[in-house]
Structure 1
């Protein structure tokens, strides 16, 4: 707004004392002060209101006005309550520094002027920003992204002093302006948003975390938003993004709420664009999954994996290892629908696509901020299950050693550990926020396989992940996960455990020993069999193998080192015994 508009507002009762030629200056804010030097609190563009308490004599006016002019203040309004008429020395100083001066009637409170200026400036900024948002939306729908959601979030900060972040359902930051949210805040806000969405309360939702208030706005993709009113809320609640604004929107005018709604629609356009980019990865995962489930030849599966690897791991020089993650979302029959929506039937909800979208988000590293850090995740769905094929870069093992002479203590180190997904880590990252969206009638269960290095192992990995998910489903809680390491040996004795799972367990336990024997001729497998046959007796086992007891102890130590097991424990002895019998 301009100074002239203030003078023309009768309710403010301002009288111009000087500076008529400067009335077209733009007012960007207002500040009330009686400090002799308020420069540290000025940033330029303010209308300064003062009660003149700083003025003790005529000599004080010149330095005060000079400070204001140097700081870029656009006008000065002096109250008449303290001294009555405005002193002539102040009028003269303002004329010299070309600073417009207004007299404020004793009957008008400074708060009235402040409220008027703030309301007008905020409204005009919001109008300008709304036009920018509309232009940005047109750019994003008709051509390049124009910079993505970060651009409009920057505008919210610079024009409306609103800090805002785009968050995923798990609380991961997707976009933001300025400093990121503290790590623990995002999941809390996501959980609050999901819980409020399940109740059908009208957005924006309000949440307070560590003494700071946030307003939460849902971001629904175009396809889901078009049918949100007629579908069960559970079809979208676990996959919607949200816009978290550091402010309380409870008393916002309708124009500002409409502006934020426009921002969410703009970000939804960008999300739809990114969802479309996942099509290739999803199709690759679906093709591999169908080959694995139909029992295709390993050579055919391997060929398909060679096609998938460059897409998921561009620039990779060698074939990766793979892990399989299975997720399922289950709802109770007759659960609540949503505000204005029908009471849902679990059978009517398309659980597979919901789990697919959710699993794609779960598998993104929560420590990685950004819009599309899921470009190495391929998720398909079969029925109500979502199945992820996750590539892991292969780590070359250490060089070969010199055979049995390694037993003297100079043998090659075990193969380097390969980074992979762990069920407990995934669970810790998503349990708190997603529990709010699942409420009292939903469950999410996850199963994670061990890493496999070839097409032959994929079927076993799939069955292993599925069986781990069934183990997780047997536990209490809204969000549960289990990994391959939890498929203990006594579980493998149960008749319903698939043969592929048994074989995968055996390979995972014994393959490190077989690989070591092949490279070093160390005979660890025969040593293990003899040690178990002798009930762990060092003397009898050493005599059977014609070895010194110290050599036997070295071999057993290497077995424990390679497998991470302890042969003094009954449980680990049992695992090795069963693995050897099934191999």
Structure 2
């Protein structure tokens, strides 16, 4: 059974008490005065504590035997001094000076063996020791000092070996992260694992870029608490229980790394760990060369976790959002912005390719999604994300912004104060209009009073935005809700259903083949006719065709399809088939068909 040191209140004798010592750490903590007094070698002398009982957790760096009258000149701090006081004068002033010299040299404790020089430790020495917080212990029986030093030094050597082993492990871990090209979040997570406490990486504005093991208690009011922590280099912040170090290079400091809590490793190991982690972060940044990317990744991780319900606790979720810059609020709104550019220019990971044969000039020339520059698509995607973030800031909105999937940018907006949902959307859409993006639509879910609910609404808003992006430009509105997208929205939900794909192919295949074979634009004409509601007169004006020519081409469409365009159900079926193709092409990462001039034969 493990044991610990306890004091008998009546006799002030220190004894080993079974079952009191906590399980040892994987990495041994530094030996303390309390632990030295609990060793069998010291216990054999019946130790009695005479002063500074609240200072027994001081670390012991070494055990030193001394019988002179001037100990201060031989100590360097952290020693436990063993003595019989043989050379100590009887003068009380000299005795007080002796105690002050031991304390002034930074000794951890003074242990006096009685019987050879004094029957008890002089009272003036005990009083002086109490005034300078120096633990003084009397040994009532003779002990072999060599036995004490051997026992303690063996453990100290073991501690040093453990520290070297830990240092080697730290070196291996951060070498591995460098080889793998790990990002800041991964490095912070590995640091937290080895430290056994929360770890936070913040920028110079005290905004959190990455964190691990930090819940609401740690992150609450982080920026305000961190801002008052001054200084440079590696330093302890006792009022917060932090260990802080700077992260940077010769070019300057760009962040701070914080062990926020009580590490499961000794102070020396924690200091070595946080400094080595800071070096790993500096190397990672040299590889990225962009500190803004760290914040962007933090935002993306947060939004991804929000969408996938990776966060469950509302308090933790709000704390994490606040350290990323989201204002405190009681209402939240999920918003998504989707590009109206061809999706293949916005995404480099198509699910499946569906094009309009005979009508898409790009695919006929051997182009298409597979031949477009994926980096160009990524640049446009990032440009839209930047434009949305800028627009939100310009509109005075507090929002977390980041790319989702299929080129869509997601926002979680904090509706602070009396800001209404409608006002926030009006501000955002107005701020987006002057942006340099080549086309976009805005979609929103409904206002929520919990952040986790707003996060769960992001997929819905994304789906609405992608469906709205397929709507003809003349029918576009400032922003969309799920009630605005109707049939396109339903078809987008069913886009991966092979039965729907087969239906669209059956309905349009003859006309697609005809266009491909004869290089005509009858599919585009059919679309225009259906979007005009079957109004031939209006279509003739917009297409610059005579009614006679238009009727002739519509009859050709009927003949090729074997269908009657005068039948309402036929028109509905063909319209659904066309919309299915558009939605499928958008979801696949290939371009929706261009509006070919119906006048082209």
TM-score of the pair, normalised by structure 1: 0.27
Between structure 1 and structure 2, the one with the greater Rg is 2
